[in-house]
């Protein structure tokens, strides 16, 4: 695989999504090397002096007032890392761990952290050789940086901790050796540069953003299918309606749905003589709801792109000013807000999708579709309990969507007295997106079944392609059968973007 070269301070979300999904080797553009080395030289000079500099020749947190002797500075950094390896819970996925490493590279490459270039090279080599630190999922409160998880990442750099190499988890020193790499002893402030920062929270928030955007696009497809299945009106998709309101996401959602439903025989069959005046909100207001979610995701994307390019450790070396200054860029409040925004969008996309499923299985609302979409209701229950499952998933996501960023608590003997809780605010997004994709998978099943009941009329070409892709793996439900494996299949079709590909969907991304 080709190496991906990234420029600190100018990386795009598209590049980060490539890092996350494809796991390529990554290197920093060498244009940042001089800035990194100038900051490292300034820090080395400060470490050689007598003036106290936080994290260089002092203790940490509440112990910052304690002076450290020059001969103990290396021990200070090692102790910082091993003492902060207090994460608990299951190990995070490899793709997330690698994204954390890349984000840390980008932060160090800003030339304000004071680390030696050799540490950046080692992190790049670990990415290239496939040495991935084992990072427990729990333990960060999202300020003074993601301390515990980033300590587990950094431990491998110094030959401690655990790492995965060639699919096997082993001691960090062994993983480095098998990859032909050597650990590095940390110098003044270097341990602090690695563990102060928001890279864990940001990586999980980015992963949530990437998944949520894919889910939102899939939701427009399943919603278009549902609209045709219940013989809904396309009049609410007229562009003038949405331009009069002016929200970008709403305009794009309506445009996408118009394209997906264009030339549907089902739609044309009831354009005249339909006694219904208006469809329920879950059909009529899809652009307003999913479109609003798209706008929220874009707002979160803006924040996360800035954060991905930020220097977030402490203290920072301000080379031009010639000073080393303690600040608070490690506080992950922006990431916490972004994660909460993504959670709200995911919850609402699922909520309106679930109502469409309920509509499809209810004969009083589905415009003459059979109860629970089975040809022989009574003898068969059809998709009755599949709909109940989606109600459970929708409710679970509603609970998970409650804000995390408001739940601060003091830590570290009240020195760190307000924290962001961004880490678990971002981590929950994985679970929520999985729930959402399962809801959309069930909607795909139900809407496809409903459309097939409208024969001989056919849906549009893009939507027919989606149904054909579904039917490669899941046959039409003519009588009751064991459905659990099929729910897993349709979840995969949604989460792997296969229905997006089948529809030939043309829609702007969050970064455009």
DSSP 274-313: -------HHHHTHHHHHHHHHHHHHHHHHHHHHHHT----
Alpha carbon distance 223, 359 (integer Å): 12
Judged by DSSP in three states, 136 sits in: strand
**Element at 239 (helix H, strand E):** helix 239-245
**Element at 168 (helix H, strand E):** strand 168-171
Q: Which of 13, 19, 12, 18 is nearest to 124 (CA)?
A: 19
Neighbours of 472 (CB within 10 A): 11
- CA distances to 51, 209, 305, 427 from 340, rounded to whole Å, are 42, 11, 16, 11
**Chain position carrying tokens 């910052």:** 64
Q: For residue 167, which phi and psi values (nearest 5 degrees)?
A: 80, 5
Alpha carbon distance 151, 172 (integer Å): 13
Q: Would you say 343 and 422 are in contact if contact means Cβ atoms under 8 Å apart?
A: no
- The verdict on whether 54 is a catalytic residue reads yes
DSSP 333-377: HHHHHHHHHHHHHHHHHHHHHHHHHHHHH-TTTTTSPPGGG-SSB
Neighbours of 351 (CB within 10 A): 18
Beta strand 88-91 with 4-6 is unpaired
DSSP β-bridge partners for residue 377: 380
**Chain position carrying tokens 């894919």:** 214
Number of H helices, E strands in the chain: 20, 9
Neighbours of 244 (CB within 10 A): 7
Residues labelled as active-site residues: 54
């Amino acid at each position: 695989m080709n190496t991906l070269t990234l420029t600190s301070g100018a990386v795009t979300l598209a590049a980060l999504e490539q890092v996350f999904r494809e796991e390529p080797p990554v290197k920093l553009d060498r244009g940042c090397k001089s800035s990194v080395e100038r900051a490292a030289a300034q820090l080395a000079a400060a470490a050689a002096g007598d003036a106290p500099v936080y994290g260089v020749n002092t203790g940490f947190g509440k112990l910052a007032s304690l002076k450290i002797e020059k001969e103990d500075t290396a021990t200070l950094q090692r102790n910082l890392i091993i003492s902060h390896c207090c994460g608990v819970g299951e190990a995070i996925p490899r793709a997330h761990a690698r994204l954390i490493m890349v984000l840390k590279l980008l932060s160090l490459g800003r030339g304000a952290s004071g680390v030696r270039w050799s540490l950046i090279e080692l992190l790049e080599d670990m990415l290239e050789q496939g040495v991935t630190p084992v990072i427990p999922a729990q333990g960060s409160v999202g300020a003074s940086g993601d301390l515990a998880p980033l300590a587990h990442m950094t431990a491998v750099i110094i030959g401690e901790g655990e790492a995965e190499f060639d699919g096997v988890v082993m001691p960090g020193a062994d993983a480095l050796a098998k990859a032909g790499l050597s650990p590095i002893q940390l110098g003044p402030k270097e341990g602090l540069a690695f563990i102060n920062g928001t890279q864990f929270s940001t990586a999980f928030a980015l992963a949530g953003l990437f998944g949520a955007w894919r889910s939102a696009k899939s939701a427009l497809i399943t919603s278009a299918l549902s609209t045709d299945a219940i013989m809904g009106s396309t009049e609410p998709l007229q562009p003038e309606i949405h331009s009069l309101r002016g929200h970008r996401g709403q305009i794009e959602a309506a445009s996408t749905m118009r394209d997906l439903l264009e030339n549907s025989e089902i739609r044309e069959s009831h354009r005249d003589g339909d006694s219904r005046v208006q469809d329920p909100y879950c059909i009529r207001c899809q652009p307003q709801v999913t479109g609003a979610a798209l706008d929220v995701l874009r707002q979160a994307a803006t924040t996360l792109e800035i954060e991905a390019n930020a220097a977030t450790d402490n203290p920072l070396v301000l080379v031009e000013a010639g000073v080393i200054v303690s600040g608070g860029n490690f506080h992950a409040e922006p990431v916490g807000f972004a994660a909460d925004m993504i959670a709200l969008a995911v919850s609402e996309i699922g909520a309106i999708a679930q109502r469409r499923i309920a509509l499809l299985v209810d004969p009083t609302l589905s415009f003459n579709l059979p109860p629970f979409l089975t040809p022989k209701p009574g003898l068969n229950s059809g998709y009755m309990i599949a709909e109940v499952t989606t109600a459970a998933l929708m409710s679970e996501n509603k609970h998970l969507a409650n804000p995390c960023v408001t739940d601060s608590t003091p830590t570290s003997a009240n020195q760190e007295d307000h924290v962001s809780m961004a880490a678990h605010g971002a981590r929950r997004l994985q679970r929520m997106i999985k729930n959402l994709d399962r809801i959309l998978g069930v909607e795909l099943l139900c809407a496809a079944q409903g459309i097939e009941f409208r024969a001989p009329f056919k849906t549009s070409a893009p939507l027919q392609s989606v149904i054909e892709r579904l039917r490669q793996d899941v046959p039409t439900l003519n009588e009751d059968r064991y459905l659990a494996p099929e729910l897993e299949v349709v979840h995969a079709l949604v989460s792997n973007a296969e229905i997006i590909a089948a529809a030939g969907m043309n829609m702007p991304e969050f970064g455009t």
